[in-house]
Amino acid sequence: MISIKKVSIIVSRGSLEEVYPALIMANGARMEGIEANLFFTFFGLDAIERKKMEHLKVATVGNPAMHIPTVIGMIPGMSAFATKKMKGEMEKLDIPPVGEFLEMIHDSGGKIYACRAAMDMFHLKKDDLCECVDEVLTIGEFYERSAGSQIIFT
């Protein structure tokens, strides 16, 4: 029996390999009947910004999980190649694109929030974000909504 009732996941990075774990965890929580909040801040906003959300890339420079020297990751086209390969593998597993994944989480009752401070810093308006975003919150408001949650920072 699962004892966790609520999770709040903070998404602070906008690369493909940083965003998907948060989406998978939130979706998994909803499938188990666990309340899920996603809070996008700093570069994590790329995942909910209309113009950027379907164009997230794999970070090849400075990413030790790539198991390649940094100099190889700097070769022009390496990030595009790694991104295409990862998206191809996800497609084989029927993992949806970012926008569709966010919609699934939202439609299942998950809450999606954007960080007010990051929005202001990057001069973004709520209209710049996908329709699935419920609200733009201050960190205090996010903590208020996260009361009793397991907080996960990605």
CATH code, domain carrying 128: 3.40.1260.10
Radius of gyration of the chain (CA): 16
Q: What is the mean pLDDT of residues 65-93?
A: 81
- Give the model's pLDDT for residue 151: 93
Q: Per-residue pLDDT tens for 30-46?
A: 999 999 999 999 999 99
By residue count, the chain amounts to 154
Q: Which residues 6+ apart lie within 8 Å of 33 measured at CB?
A: 2
Assigned domain for 1 exists: no
Assigned domain for 137 exists: yes
Q: Is the pLDDT of residue 50 over 80?
A: yes
Q: Per-residue pLDDT tens for 91-125?
A: 999 999 999 999 999 999 999 999 999 999 999 99
Q: How many domains does the chain have?
A: 1
> For residue 106, which of 128, 135, 66 has the smallest C-alpha distance?
135
Q: What is the mean pLDDT of residues 6-26?
A: 96
Assigned domain for 126 exists: yes
Q: Is the pLDDT of residue 87 over 80?
A: yes
Assigned domain for 122 exists: yes
Assigned domain for 51 exists: yes
Domain boundaries, position 87: 6-153
Other Cβ atoms within 10 Å of 5 Cβ, number:
12
Q: Is the pLDDT of residue 2 over 70?
A: no
